[in-house]
Structure formats: structure tokens, C-alpha cells
Amino acid sequence: MPLLPVLANVFAAVPAALRFLSRLPVRLPSEPQEDGPPDLDRLGPALPLAGAVLGLIAASVLVVAHGVGLGDFLAATLAVAVLVAISGALHEDGLADVADALGGMNVARRLEIMKDSRVGAFGVCALILAFSLRIGALAGLLAIAPLAAAAGLIAAVSVSRLAGLWMLAALPFARADGLARSAGVPGAASRRLALGVALIVAIVLVVPLIGLVGLVGAALFGLLAFLLVVRLARAQFGGQTGDVAGAATLLVEIAFLIGLLIFAR
């Protein structure tokens, strides 16, 4: 397939991917006024680009807040707060639900707990740890170089959006209903193209400012986090759900940032 039409299709799907991943009201005049069920086979390759847009917004806050003298911790906190706000806490909700569900005694009970909109003690603890790790990693990168921290954040948000896409193919559906099933399973070509897009974004952003070793280390940390979530979901839930995909996305983002921090030093 010619490259230019493929890239054109990827960029054309970015507004729909942004609406899927965030609360940003991005809609081209040619698009319908209401969205149906997401088609992740079509949107998949655009997810890393949409993630890069979300990361760019948060990274801009990070750099500005640090530049006006708020310090590493406050700048990182504001950047994470903005990212959570524009994404509608989509992945944080998934992590909290998965953490709470782990308290169930069997698969059926765990899936029942996961559907409960209330957040329990496990979910609260998971969110506290997730925020602490993400803010701490960003603050550490800011202490090294603000532009490197900004580039790392954009790359982490972009690359981590692969996790939900690949989770759909890695495991069967754990339940007969839910968002994950309605979105369908993206094909191998869609997943490979998404991976290629994410790699290009990460290489362009990370290698010049942090180095190839930092990128490889971060990618390995992200991959390890993804594989651990896959193993956990298979053992505890018998498959994947939208919440599992959301939790995997957030954990890969955190692992990628921590990997950058370790190998950037």
C-alpha cells in the first residue's frame, strides 16, 4: 500500500482518536456530529498521535510552570493534573477499578466489582501510588533538563496508548458486554502501523534530548509493565476489559517515565 495515503488516513483519524481518548471537542467539518461505537481497527494507528497531542498540552504546562519558578514538584503536579483533566481520568478510572477488583474471591466476583462505579480502598491506594510515581518521575526528569522532561512526557503518553490497543489482541474478552467488546479487535496491520507511529514519535523526541539508551531502557520498562498486566489479567479476570486496557495504559506510561529517569542519568 502506498505510504502517503496510509499517512493521510492516520492523520485524518486523529480528531476521532482524540475524542476517544479525551474530552477535547475536536471534530472536523466532514465528520458526523455524533460518534458511534469506536472502530479501533481504524483509529488504532492514530492513537499514538492523539496521545502525543495530549502529552504536548501537559508538557507545555510543565515547561511554563517550571519556567515561572514553581519548582520541579509543583510543575510536575500541574502537568499531571492537566493530563488527567483533558483525558477525563479515563485510565485512572480503569486502574482504580482493576485494583478494587483484585479483592474479589473468584473471577465472577472480580468482574462484578470492576463494574461497580464506587472506588474502594485498593483503588484509592493504587491511584495515590500512580500519581506519586508519575509526578516523582517527571520531577526527577525536570531536575535533569526541563526540555528533556517535556519530550519524555510527550513520548510516554504517546507510546502508552499502544497498551490498550495491543491488550485487545493479547487476551480474550473477559465479559460478553462492555466498551472493549464494542470497540472490536484491531487487526495486525493496524497494530503494527500504530507501533511504527509510536516508535517514530518516541525516537524523534527522546533520542536527541535523552539518548538512545534512555529510549531503549524506557521502552523495555514499558513492555515489562504491559506483560505484567497481561499476565495479571489472564490469571485474575480470565481476559481483558476496558478497565484492564485503561490500567495497562497508565502503568505503561508510568513505567516509561521511570525508565527514562533511570537511564537518563
Alpha carbons 179 and 176: distance in angstroms, whole number: 10
Give the CA dihedral 217, 180, 18, 59, nearest 10 degrees.
-30
Alpha carbons 156 and 168: distance in angstroms, whole number: 20
pTM: 0.92
CA 200 → CA 41, 53, 109, 203, 258, distances in Å? 20, 14, 41, 5, 20
CA 183 → CA 35, 58, 164, 242, distances in Å? 12, 27, 11, 9
24 pLDDT above the threshold of 60: yes
pLDDT digits (tens, 9 = 90+) for 137-146: 999 999 999 9
Alpha carbons 83 and 88: distance in angstroms, whole number: 8
Question: Domain coordinates of the chain in residue numbers?
Answer: 3-264
**Least confident residue range of 33-42, 51-60, 201-210:** 33-42
Alpha carbons 137 and 256: distance in angstroms, whole number: 10
192 pLDDT above the threshold of 60: yes
Residue identified by cell 478497565 is: 243
Tell me phi and psi for residue 171, to 5 degrees: -135, 155
**Least confident residue range of 5-9, 16-20, 119-123, 181-185:** 181-185
Dihedral sign, CA of 249, 232, 125, 151? Answer: negative
27: enclosing H helix or E strand: none
The per-residue pLDDT for 5 is 73
- Of 15-29, 30-44, 51-65, 167-181, where does the model show the most confidence? 51-65
Tell me phi and psi for residue 2, to 5 degrees: -55, 145
The per-residue pLDDT for 182 is 61
Band (175; pLDDT cuts 50, 70, 90): confident
208, three cell numbers: 536527541
67 pLDDT above the threshold of 80: yes
pLDDT digits (tens, 9 = 90+) for 83-135: 999 999 889 999 999 999 998 889 889 888 888 878 888 999 999 999 999 99
pLDDT digits (tens, 9 = 90+) for 200-253: 999 999 999 999 999 999 999 999 999 999 999 999 988 899 899 999 999 999
1, three cell numbers: 500500500
**What type of residue is 262?**
I
**What type of residue is 78?**
L
Helices then strands, each counted (H, E), the chain: 13, 0
Alpha carbons 222 and 248: distance in angstroms, whole number: 10
The per-residue pLDDT for 174 is 81
